Structure 1
Amino acid sequence: MNEHYAPGRIQEKRRFLCKLKSYCRNKRYPEGSIAECYLTKECMTFCSRYLEDVETRINRPSRNDGFTNHNLAETYLFQSYGQAIGKVEIAHLDNRSWVQAHRYILFHHDSIEPLRNEFKQVLRSRSRSRRLQHQEIYKLFIESFHEWLGQTLWSGKDVNEEAKWFSQGLNRVVKRYNAFLINGFKFHTKSHERLRRVQNYGIVVNSSITSYASARDNNPVEAKVEYYELLTDIIELDYYGKQKVALFQCDWVDINTTRGIKKDQFGFTMVNFSRLIHTGQQLIDELYVFSSQVKQVFYSKDPIDEGWYVVLRNTPRDLFDMGNGSKDDIDKRSKTLHFFRTKLK
């Protein structure tokens, strides 16, 4: 009778036999030695389930687990808490970097949304006589919102407590790290790995952008796009002890033109880091993203196209795709498994 077996089953059986063989401590009585060691491990595993505050094989944390202190996590904005690794460096932000970091936080916090909408209305009312286009108003909004917010709240406007904290601005003294654990990934800055063969500084961020067809376009379109970046700096900022936030500073690939991103003949995404946007030279550039927004990718150098790198996506440790349990998903996986089956007579 012919039966179908997956090669994985055979490999699992061989690995299990090798594991049993490693239990042998007395070659004169191998069967008894293996049985005794196997029974000892099973008893220890069973007893470890009832131990508290003790790290065992059952409850030990993942390698890239990050912070597990929920009380500490609540002090961080945008779920940006994570575990810093290595030496901590105290640094001071220059004026441009301070504005860019502070503005990025203001544009994403929900408590500031009513004030953002109010300032947009102010800009629209001012632009009626000057006949400014939507794109020009948007640029003015980016450049001057943080200044307007501080002036408005200092004039005595009644707002919530969080808005008052944000109006004071960030502390210019920040903590700088070379490595950070978050979202199940370990990230290193590019400079930290300049002499290493490993790569942990590739980042991808899903973000929404507002696009204008031209300077006279009055109907901007919002769309979701993926930005590919290189991690250059990791900083932790605070609003003078009230709230903290971890930001990643990156080199952003130009995804607006084919000189920065393209698809090869096999459908792989390729990027060119000689074509960058948001370099930080201008005040309106956005250098930073929240640490909670990022996912990890690897960049493999293309041997044919000079200067181009193939994007390879990574998944967090201990994360497995188990499917959604639907009939279509089961049928799809069954068809895929069919190619890996073989006959054993």
Structure 2
Amino acid sequence: MTHLPIHIAHEALLAGPVQFRWQFPFERKMHTFKGYVRNKAHPEGSIAEGYCDNECLTFCSMYFHGIETKFNQVDRNFDGSMGRLNSGLSIFTQNVRLFKGAIDDVLNPTEYERIKWYVLHNCDEVLPYIKEHEEELKRQNIRNISKEQEIKFAEWFLRCVQQMQEEESTEDIESLLNLAIGPEKYVARYSGCIVDGIRDDMEEIVVDLNAKIQGRENASFIDDESDVENGACSDENVEAEDISSDDEIDDDSSM
């Protein structure tokens, strides 16, 4: 480890900043030039010809309209939106690009309640009602307010919005009422999606989780085996001590 605090500092003192003497960019460029070689008998000519062709194509591609080039191609993780959608509620303004291969499914009660609570808890228009319900639970001296609110808020919010609709029906209240009713239980499951340039692949996440769980199980199995071996060794030591003590007793009695 002496290389880090001594040799690197000494090297920077003698040679200066690393960006002026780093060979990695040049090695990458040389790798690109080696890819231009078609005639191994004349590699220099092949590299020069390939370089000229690449420069000509790059220059001409700037004037190609309606043709996808590296200057106007869409990003790999583009979600298909140029901004937020014009929707009524803030939580539904985010665009998303779903993967292909949807599977029809029915949500179980646990998934349904979790999805409903997640949507309500992350909607800006519902935050005042969440605070109001939290204050009401505090007045009732509820211990675990967060857990109680997660269970009972959806039903309380639906009653509150229905009462507001009876008093005054507006477009905002209609949007809140549709939100309070909740989603459908019949859904289409996708293997992943792209949001804000971030790719979320559920299959990869499941594989990583299974690998972590398997690693923990193997580690616990190794610990159990070591405990068993240690216990067996201790039992053997105890038996050996008992045998040696019995031999000593027999020797004393014979004397």
Distance of 2:47 and 2:150 partners within structure 1: 69
2:52 equivalent to 1:36: no
**Percentage of identical aligned residues:** 22
2:154 maps to 146
Q: Secondary structure at the match of 2:98?
A: strand
- Count of residue correspondences: 201
Which protein has the bigger strand share?
A: 1
Counterpart of 1:59 (choices 72, 95, 101) is 72
Distance of 1:61 and 1:180 partners within structure 2: 16
Mark the CA change 1:12 to 1:110 in structure 2 (over 3 Å): closer, same or farther. closer
- Show CA shifts across 1:128-170 (max 9, x none): xxxx24x244443222111112122223254733322212221
Distance of 2:83 and 2:32 partners within structure 1: 42
- Show CA shifts across 1:39-83 (max 9, x none): 1111111222333443222333333x1312347855683665433
Gaps (5+ residues) in structure 1?
193-198, 204-229, 232-271, 275-300, 308-345
Gaps (5+ residues) in structure 2?
1-13, 222-255
Distance of 1:303 and 1:141 partners within structure 2: 35
CA RMSD of aligned residues (A): 3.9
2:60 maps to 47
TM-score by length of 2: 0.61
Mark the CA change 1:90 to 1:80 in structure 2 (over 3 Å): closer, same or farther. farther
Kept in 2, the 8 Å contact 1:186–1:200? The answer is no
- Computing the radius of gyration over CA atoms, which structure comes out larger, 1 or 2? 2
Which protein has the bigger helix share?
A: 2
Counterpart of 2:133 (choices 99, 103, 119) is 119
1:114 alignment partner AA: P
User: Where in structure 2 are the equivalents of 1:101-140 lying within 5 Å?
Assistant: 101-125=115-139, 127=140, 132-133=141-142, 135-140=143-148
Kept in 2, the 8 Å contact 1:45–1:58? The answer is no
2:110 maps to 96
2:195 alignment partner AA: I
2:245 maps to none
User: Where in structure 2 are the equivalents of 1:318-337 lying within 5 Å?
Assistant: none
Query: Which stretch of the first structure deviates more once superposed, 170-179 or 30-39?
Result: 30-39
User: Where in structure 2 are the equivalents of 1:263-274 lying within 5 Å?
Assistant: none
Shift of 1:38: 0.8
Q: Secondary structure at the match of 2:22?
A: helix
1:67 alignment partner AA: D
- Show CA shifts across 1:199-244 (max 9, x none): 44489xxxxxxxxxxxxxxxxxxxxxxxxxx59xxxxxxxxxxxxx
